[in-house]
Structure 1
Amino acid sequence: MATFASVTNKKLAKIPVTELMLLMVAIFWGTSYGLTKEALIFTSVFVFIAIRFSITFLCMLPVVIRDFRCGLNGDWMVAIPTGAVLSAIFFCEVYGVFHTSASNAAFLISLSVVFTAFAELVVNKRRVTNVLLVMTMTSVLGVLLLTSSKEGALVLNKGDCFILLAAVLRALMVTLTKRVVEGKAITTSTLTAVQSLVVASIAIILAFIFQSSSEISMPNSLTFWLVMAYLVIFCTLFAFYVQNYAVRKTSPTRVSLLMGSEPLFGALFAVMWLNETLSLVQMIGGGLIFFSVIITSLWKEDVVV
C-alpha cells in the first residue's frame, strides 16, 4: 500500500488552472458547430471569418499596444506563420461545417488529438508518454461512439474532407506554436492578436477576389450578431488565448487531448438545451472521453525526448 501511495503521489497532481481553462474551451467549442451553421445562413464563409477575427483583433488591440510600449514583444513576427496556419484551419473548418453535419464535424476535428502526437514527434522531435498515447486513443474511441449513427456508418463527403484537413492543421498549429514561441519575447495577448489580424486580412483579401460587392455586405440580422458575439468572446478571444497560453505551459498533445473533448460537451449541450437523447453506445462514448480527460488532467506529465 505504501509503495502504491508513493507512486500515486508522484504521478498525480491536483487539477491546475491550465487544464480547467482548456476544458472550458472544449465546452465553448462543443457548442460552436451548430451556432456557426446558423450564422452562415446570413453570410458567406469569407465574410463570416473576416468579421469574427477583425472583431477579435480590435478587442485585443489595447492590450497589445500596452505590451509593445512595455517592450515585451521584440519577437512579435514569429506569430505570423501561426496566423497563416490558423487561417487555413478556419477556412477548412467553417467551409466543412457548412457542408456536413455537426456530429461528423465534431468527430473528425477531434482526430487532431491523434495527429498532434505524431506532429510532436516530427516537428518537435518529442515522443509523448505511453499514458498520454493511451488516453489519446481512448478519447478518439469515445468520440467515435458518441457521434455514431444508428447505422454505425461514417461516409465522408466534401465537407467531411475539409474538416479532416482542419484536424491535421490543428495538430500542426499547436505544435508549431510551441516551437516558434519557446523562449521568444512575445506575450500571449500579442500572439493571439497577431494571429487574428492575419486570419482577418487573408479572409478580406479572398472575399474581394472571389465574391461580388453585394456578397461582402454586412449582415443586418440580430440573430447573426448575437451568435457572432458569443463566438468572438468565448470561442475565439477566450479559446485562442487559452490555447496559446497552455501550449507554452505544457505539451501540444496534452492541450489537444483536453480541447478534443469538445464533442462530449456538445452532446451534453444538445441533451440539456435541445432536448436530444443519447443511446447507450453514445453514453459509453461520453464516459470514455470523460475518463480520458480526468486522467490527463490529474496525471503529472513527463515528456519523453
Structure 2
Amino acid sequence: MPELLLLMVAIVWGTSYGLTKSAIAFTSISLFIAIRFGLTFLLLLPLVAKDFKQGKNKDWKVALPTGAILALIFFFEVYGVSQTTASNAAFLISLNVIFTALVDSLLSKNKPSQSLILLSVISTFGVLLLTYHQDLGISLNSGDLCILTAAALRALMVTMTKKLTDKKQITNTALTCIQAFVVALSAYLVGALITKAPASQIPYDREFWLITAFLVLFCTLFAFYAQNYAVRKISPTKASLLMGSEPLFGAIFSMMWLNETLTYVQWLGAAILLTSVLAASVNKPDKI
C-alpha cells in the first residue's frame, strides 16, 4: 500500500508544474501558497478536532518543524517554477532522490542498501534523458537554483518526518493538517510583511479556482497525507525514489492532453525511470 500510494502521488504531482505556472499568473506566489494550504487546513480541521478529542495526538508538536521545512520547499519550488523551464524543473527536483539517500545515511543508523542507492542513481539518469532537449541545456539561473534548493529540502523533509514521527502519537491527518497550517501562515506573513503583497487581492477568475481546487484536493490534501502515511512505513530513500517518478507521469500527461511528443532519447529515459521505479516497488522491504 505505501508504494502504491506514492506512485499515485507521483502521478498527480506530475501534472502540478504546469497547473502551478497557470495559477500564479492570477496572483502573487505568497498569496497562492496561502490560499492552497489554507484551504487544505480548513478541510482537515474537523477530522483533526475529532482526533484531538479522542486523545490521539499527544505528540502533535513534532509536526511543527516539518511544516516549517514544507513552507520553505514551496517558496523555493513555486518561485523556481515561475523562473525556469519545465524540463529543468523536472530534472532538478528529481535530484531529491540522491539527496535523500545522502541525508538518510547521515541521520539514520540504518544505511540505505546498495541496491536502493544504485536504483536512485539509475532513476536520476533516466530523468535526465527524459527531460533532455538537444537545443536546451541545464542552465543554473535563479529559478534553477531555487528548484535545486527545494530538492534538497524535500530530502530533509521526508527524512525528518520519518525520524520525528517514529513511535509518536500523532495521526497522519493531524500531521498533514498542522503542516498545512504552518505553510499557510508562513505564506501569509511573507506576503504581508516582506513582499508587501496585499492579502485582500484574492483572484476571482474561474480558471484560478478550478486549478486551485485540483491542486488542493489531489496535489496537496491527498498527496501529503499519502506521503506522511508512506514515509512512516518505508525508508525515506525508497519513498523519494518512488515519488521521483513524477517527471515520467508529467511527460505522459503532456502527451495525452497537450499532444506533445517524445524523442527516442526521452523514450529511453522514460523506460529507464519506469524500470527503476518498478524494481523499487516490487522488492521486499528487507531487500531495499
In which range does the TM-score fall when normalised by the shorter chain?
over 0.9
Residues 161 and 231 in structure 2, CA contact (< 8 A), matched pair in contact too: yes
Alpha-carbon shift at residue 152 of structure 1 (Å): 5.8
Determine the C-alpha separation between the residues in 2 that align with 1:150 and 1:216: 44
Indicate how the Cα distance of structure 1 residues 157 and 213 shifts in structure 2: closer, same or farther if over 3 A, else same. closer
Percent identity between matched residues is 55
Q: What does residue 262 of structure 2 align with? A: 278
Letter of the 1:134 partner, please give it.
Answer: L
C-alpha contact (below 8 Å) 2:44/2:177 kept by paired residues: yes
Name whichever of 121-130 and 44-53 sits farther off.
121-130
Q: Structure 2: how far apart are the matches of 1:115 and 1:248? A: 19
Aligned to 2:184: 200
- Supply the distance in 2 between the matched residues of 1:145 and 1:169 (Cα, whole angstroms): 24
Unaligned segments of structure 2, at least 5 residues: none
Query: SS state of the match for residue 56, structure 2?
Result: coil
For 1:185-196, list aligned pairs within 5 A: 185-196=169-180
Q: Partners of 2:247 and 2:114 in 1: how far apart?
A: 24
| Structure 1 partner of 2:2 | 18
**Counterpart AA for 1:78:** V
Shift of 1:258: 0.3
CA contact (8 A) 2:99 2:151 kept: yes
1:71 to 2:34 alignment:
no
CA deviation after TM superposition for structure 1 residue 126, in Å: 2.5
Aligned twin of 2:245:
261
Contact 1:44 1:215 in 2 (8 A): no
1:303 to partner: Cα distance: 7.2
1:170 maps onto 2:154 in alignment = yes
**Contact between 2:162 and 2:231, CA under 8 Å: does it hold in 1?**
yes
Matches for 1:30-49 after TM superposition, within 5 Å: 30-49=14-33
Deviations 1:36-80 (A, max 9, x none): 000010001100000000000001001101110110000000100
Judge conservation of contact 2:94–2:124 (CA < 8 Å) in 1.
Answer: yes
Q: CA deviation at 1:212?
A: 4.0
Using the size of structure 2 for normalisation, the TM-score is 0.98
Determine the C-alpha separation between the residues in 1 that align with 2:197 and 2:283: 53
Superposed CA deviations along residues 218-254 of structure 1, whole A, max 9, x for unmatched, are 0011000000000000000000000000011000001
Kept in 2: contact 1:139–1:289 (CA 8 A): yes
1:182 lines up with 2:180 in the alignment: no
**Segments of 4+ moved more than 3 angstroms:** 211-216
Residue 105 (structure 2) aligned to one of 116, 121, 135:
121
| 1:252 and 2:233 correspond | no
Q: Which amino acid aligns with 1:66?
A: K
Give the alignment's Cα RMSD to 1 decimal.
1.2
Change (3 A) 1:24 1:81: same
Structure 1 residue matching 2:265: 3-state secondary structure: helix
Q: Which residue of 1 aligns with 2:277?
A: 293
Mapped to 2, the partners of 1:215 and 1:69 lie a distance apart of 33
Q: Which amino acid aligns with 1:40?
A: I
With over 3 angstroms needed to count, the CA separation of the structure-2 counterparts of 1:19 and 1:77, relative to structure 1, is: same
Matching residue's letter, 2:265: V
| Aligned pairs, number | 288
Tell whether 2:53 aligns with 1:87: no
Partner of 1:225: 209
* Contact persistence 2:188–2:199 (CA under 8 A): no
Contact 1:126–1:303 (CA under 8 A) maintained in structure 2? no
Consecutive unaligned residues of structure 1, counting only runs of 5 or more, are 1-16
2:227 to 243, 257, 266: 243
1:12 aligns with: none
1:185-217 deviations in whole A, cap 9, x for unaligned? 000000000000000011111111134464651
User: For the residues of structure 2 that align with 1:213 and 1:283, how far apart are their CA atoms?
Assistant: 43
For residues 177 and 216 of structure 1, the distance between their equivalents in structure 2, rounded to whole angstroms, comes to 34
How do 1:92-111 residues align onto structure 2 when only pairs under 5 Å count? Answer: 92-111=76-95
